[in-house]
Structure 1
Amino acid sequence: MIRHTLLFMVYELKKLFSNPVWPLFGIIQPVLYLLMFAPLLKSLTPGGTTVDALRMFTPASMMMIAVFGSLFSGFGLIAEIRSGALERYAVSPAWRPSIVLGRVVKDMVTLVIQAALVLVVAAVMGLRIGFVELVLVLALMAATGLFASSLSQGLALTVRDENGMSQTLNLFMLPIMLLAGLFIPIAFAPEWMRAVAPINPLYHAVEAGRALFAGDLGAKEIPIAFALFIGLAALTTWWSVRSLRKLAG
């Protein structure tokens, strides 16, 4: 089981890094957000310093990487469905869930690399975070990314069409981003948005990340975010594996 999952993970990583341009773009993008967008938030923070702005935006950028960096991973699966490669994998001696889980683990490895780079750049710019808080932030990011990656695989196996999948994702991306307070905290939003925001799971992840970067381990958003995304990750992983089994007959 573990061996087959690791085999598919390595296979997917080799495909990913066979063209280093796309992984490079995926790594550079969050760093550019940190360098160019975070300073714009200085006037919205109580202290008005770059560190205060980083403390507000860095956890949001990490959750943005976790969700939107993994949501598009299912497009490769659609290409393999169309070429017939996925069916050949499914009838091989490999453990079937490893076909999906290997891709999900690959996304987690990519997230770790991106998160490490973002944290290094934030540290160079002056941001500091405690060890316990850092571990919890990375764990929350992993749970969030696991949910997004599994959702993407399940959606790809269900829709099986790039246009349908891209339209579905684009429909929900903007409201999810705005209602999560990724760029500007929900505290600055109109009253109706503040009332609706808690319905969005990503809002709780972003608020929990900001609390952890502020050193507030007692914030109620932290257990709420972990409970939500561990549950959602388990549900979407089950759905993606079930969809694969249905496809393979």
Structure 2
Amino acid sequence: MSRDSLHRIAVLVRHNVLLRRRDPAHLVSYLVMPMVLMLVFKSMLGRPAQVVTGMLVMFSVLSMADVATAVLTERVWHTWDRIRATRARVPELIIGKTLPVFAILAVQQIVLLGYGILAVGMRPAGPLWPLGLAVAAWCFALLGVGTALAAVVRSQGELSTLCNVGALSVSALGGALVPFALMPSWARAIAPFSPGYWATTMLQAAVRGDVSGTAGPAAVLIALGAAAGAFAWRRLSRGWGRSSVR
């Protein structure tokens, strides 16, 4: 990657960091709400690791709206063509817009994991680096899928609907809300088709210190994020939907 390319990415990152700093409401709400629910579910389930990882998965999927908004806003404001008219290429635009959101997702998950250890009673076994791998893989998957959504939806209303329905569906089918063993047989059969299943399995394995149990789901989520990111790059590079957003 050339120096000019890195400079363009850095400019885009600074601009999008400023936009995120001006509107921190989503980050605050998606930190406070899971913290409250963790305490409620802890008294109901009595399984700290299940409670912490489940709430983390559900609210990080809700946070995916912030990922998509980083690109969708430019389309809604009709400024995407102006950005495309600069020397910045589509991969640089995507990287510059998603890096700040990746950092926000990582901060959200690290804070919730720390809260789960201090307030909910979750006790990781073994080294902490599997948790770092799990957080990075899940953030990458959310980043790819969120960017792909931004290349498909036509309004903030569509995006909010997809993210809200998706968060509940992914969490419920992935075993984030109740232990996998307690789910009905039909739900267990289709659970592997939900990214939430792999995220919950990965995070719970990381809490147990199970390196191999963390690496397998992490590879699945990284592949999902890469495929979704490639789809987004193809759609955005072709200028899809420039004039259809209202």
Whether the 8 Å CA contact 2:126–2:208 is kept in 1: the answer is: no
Q: Which residue of 1 aligns with 2:199?
A: 205
C-alpha displacement of 1:76: 4.5
| In structure 2, distance between residues paired with 1:82 and 1:187 | 44
| In structure 2, distance between residues paired with 1:232 and 1:5 | 24
Q: Which residue of 1 aligns with 2:107?
A: 113
User: Could you list the runs of 5+ residues in structure 2 that have no partner in the other structure?
Assistant: none
CA RMSD of aligned residues (A): 2.4
Q: Which residue of 2 aligns with 1:46?
A: none
Matched, 1:228 2:231: no
| In structure 2, distance between residues paired with 1:145 and 1:212 | 15
Whether the 8 Å CA contact 2:71–2:97 is kept in 1: the answer is: no
Q: What does the per-residue CA deviation read over 1:103-157, in whole Å, with 9 as the maximum and x for residues that have no partner?
A: 221121112221232122222233332563x322232222222222222222222
- 1:28–1:244 distance in 2 versus 1, CA, 3 Å: same
Q: Which residue of 2 aligns with 1:15?
A: 19
- 1:104–1:41 distance in 2 versus 1, CA, 3 Å: same
Q: Which residue of 2 aligns with 1:238?
A: 230
Letter of the structure 2 residue corresponding to residue 41 of structure 1: L
| In structure 2, distance between residues paired with 1:150 and 1:189 | 28
TM-score, scaled relative to structure 1? 0.83
TM-score, scaled relative to structure 2? 0.84
Q: Tell me the percent identity.
A: 21
User: Superposed, which structure 2 residues align to 1:150-229 within 5 Å?
Assistant: 150-219=144-213, 222-229=214-221
User: Superposed, which structure 2 residues align to 1:128-147 within 5 Å?
Assistant: 128-130=123-125, 132=127, 134-147=128-141
C-alpha displacement of 1:231: 0.7
| In structure 1, distance between residues paired with 2:25 and 2:155 | 25
Q: Which residue of 2 aligns with 1:93?
A: 87
Matched, 1:32 2:27: no
C-alpha displacement of 1:207: 1.4
Q: What does the per-residue CA deviation read over 1:176-229, in whole Å, with 9 as the maximum and x for residues that have no partner?
A: 22110111112101122122212223212211211221233343xx33311211
Letter of the structure 2 residue corresponding to residue 239 of structure 1: F
| In structure 2, distance between residues paired with 1:103 and 1:97 | 10
Larger mean CA deviation between 222-231 and 18-27 belongs to: 18-27
Letter of the structure 2 residue corresponding to residue 247 of structure 1: G
| In structure 1, distance between residues paired with 2:170 and 2:113 | 24
C-alpha displacement of 1:171: 4.5
| In structure 1, distance between residues paired with 2:165 and 2:25 | 27
Letter of the structure 2 residue corresponding to residue 241 of structure 1: W
User: Could you list the runs of 5+ residues in structure 1 that have no partner in the other structure?
Assistant: 43-52
Secondary structure at 2:57 match in 1 = helix
Secondary structure at 2:67 match in 1 = coil
Letter of the structure 2 residue corresponding to residue 148 of structure 1: L
Whether the 8 Å CA contact 1:77–1:153 is kept in 2: the answer is: yes
Number of residue equivalences: 236
| In structure 2, distance between residues paired with 1:121 and 1:90 | 41
